[in-house]
A and B are shown apart, each in its own frame.
Chain A
Amino acid sequence: MSNNIESQCYVVQLQIDGYIDGDLSQSQQELFMSHVHSCEACAQEFHYAQVVQDTVLELPQLDCNDQVLEPVHRLLKDGDTKINTSSQSILSQIKALVSDIPAFIRYGVPVALSVALAVFISSSLPDADGVNSLSQDQVALEVNEQYSPEEVFQALQDLNLAIDYLNQMSQRTEVMIGNRFLVTPLQDSINASFQRTRGDTTVQNDPI
């Protein structure tokens, strides 16, 4: 009997906010009020909720001092032109600048620059035989002047060793990452599902 009353109190106290907001149906409201009239604890709780709610509703809207917004107004006043220019697109600013330049300079300078660039590129391209102006023999000669063939051979061998080592490291890292993030979790997941379908209750740390 007392358990029944307690559960009624629990339900009624959960419904207090619904009642205050008018969210309860007519029958729910009647049940609510009949219980509140007969139960002192719920009546007290309802009264407390009403007082809190009324006080919250009475809290006034607050406004800040004008001084608080002074920096905002200052930004508007001082930074007006700055902000306006920055808000314009860079493209439109460039267009405005270019339109002020006389036409013969505006078109003449890009053409002259293009011709100069074309001449420069053609002079550095390989000739008809596929040989650069600086021949491969000359390059080899310059290298030979600084290092002996044995030294060059040794350097190439060292380079090969370094490349092999880096390749091995890369493969090992790929295997470790695969095991850590792909293969092992996948295996665990499959094992866990398999054990679950068999009805095995000893599954620990089931990833699913």
Chain B
Amino acid sequence: MRAQYQQAIEQHRQRVFSFARYSLRANEDAEDVTQEVFIKLWQHWQKIDHSKLGGWLMRVAHNAVIDHVRKQRPMQANIDHYAEVEEQVGSSSEETMLDQENFKQQLQLAIKSLADPFRSIIVMRDVQGLSYAEIRDVLDISESQVKVYLHRGRRKLRDNADLRRLFETQFGRGSRKPNLVDVSAQQAANDKGSNHVK
């Protein structure tokens, strides 16, 4: 039992921590969530269905993240957010070329600022590569609802003012034509992207 438990930790720790880290602002909170999840796993070891262990862990992680988001003090959260953005704006003004890293950091902030379930679904689907069926089981909603929330969440993400501003300063609105490809090539790329699993 002990060996199985340790094996389960090794197998799922990355997925649980990643989910928490991309959902919460503070690294310490993500670490707390990871600890909580694996302690609960030990406490409920005999009761859970081990064939669905991954889904169970993600559900517990999702609930723990929601609890942490509720506990976050709004003032403190805003201060952290502005501090991070300021740091990035300062560094981006020094760069003249496209700073992919800056954009990535801003994107992570934008994801964290989304409300649930948009945030959780984007992290689980686009960052972690979970299937619609797995997300459905974690959140206990239908697959079509998962798709609707995913598309709405992506639109909300793109509506993030800081992210859009950063994109426009780096690409310049209208100054650079997008690299449009023909439909069949795009479809091939889509197939690769939609099956993306990390």
Residues of A within 8 A of B (CB): 17-23, 26, 29-30, 33, 36-37, 40, 43-44, 46-53, 55-65, 68-69, 71-73, 75-76, 80, 83, 87
Instruction: Identify which of A30, A63, A76 contacts B42 (C-beta below 8 A).
Output: A76
Instruction: Identify which of A59, A64, A69, A87 contacts B22 (C-beta below 8 A).
Output: A59
With A52-B163, A68-B35 given, can you name 14 additional A-B contacts, CB distance below 8 Å? A22-B190, A22-B191, A33-B180, A33-B183, A46-B178, A51-B171, A55-B104, A56-B122, A59-B107, A63-B13, A68-B31, A71-B39, A76-B6, A80-B2
Q: Is the beta-carbon distance between A57 and B126 smaller than 8 angstroms?
A: yes
Dominant secondary structure of chain A at its interface with chain B: helix
Q: Is the beta-carbon distance between A53 and B193 smaller than 8 angstroms?
A: yes
Residue pairs across A and B with Cβ atoms less than 8 A apart, 10 shown, are A22-B194, A23-B147, A53-B154, A56-B107, A61-B18, A61-B128, A68-B31, A68-B35, A75-B39, A75-B42
Q: Is the beta-carbon distance between A48 and B46 smaller than 8 angstroms?
A: no
Contact residues, B161-183 vs A (CB, 8 A): 163-164, 167, 171, 173-174, 177-180, 182-183
Q: Which 8 A-B pairs have the closest CB atoms?
A: A47-B178, A22-B190, A64-B17, A17-B151, A68-B31, A56-B126, A72-B38, A62-B18
Q: Is the beta-carbon distance between A55 and B103 smaller than 8 angstroms?
A: yes
Q: Is the beta-carbon distance between B46 and A62 smaller than 8 angstroms?
A: no
Q: Is the beta-carbon distance between A52 and B158 smaller than 8 angstroms?
A: yes
* CA of A132 to CA of B9, assembled, Å: 70
Q: Is the beta-carbon distance between A51 and B180 smaller than 8 angstroms?
A: no
B187: shortest Cβ distance to chain A, in Å? 6
Q: Which residues of A contact B35 (CB under 8 A)?
A: 68-69, 71-72
Q: Is the beta-carbon distance between A64 and B30 smaller than 8 angstroms?
A: yes
* CA of A83 to CA of B108, assembled, Å: 39
Q: Chain B: which residue is nearest A47 at the CB level?
A: B178
Q: Is the beta-carbon distance between B187 and A58 smaller than 8 angstroms?
A: no
B104: shortest Cβ distance to chain A, in Å? 6
Q: Chain B: which residue is nearest A80 at the CB level?
A: B2
Interface size class of B (residues with CB under 8 A): 35 or more
Q: Is the beta-carbon distance between A72 and B107 smaller than 8 angstroms?
A: no
Q: Chain B: which residue is nearest A77 at the CB level?
A: B2
Instruction: Identify which of B2, B38, B127 contacts A59 (C-beta below 8 A).
Output: B127
Q: Is B157 an interface position by the 8 A CB rule?
A: yes
B174: shortest Cβ distance to chain A, in Å? 6
Q: Which residues of B contact A43 (CB under 8 A)?
A: 177-178, 180
Q: Is the beta-carbon distance between B31 and A48 smaller than 8 angstroms?
A: no
Q: Which residues of B contact A72 (CB under 8 A)?
A: 9, 35, 38-39, 42
Q: Is B155 an interface position by the 8 A CB rule?
A: yes
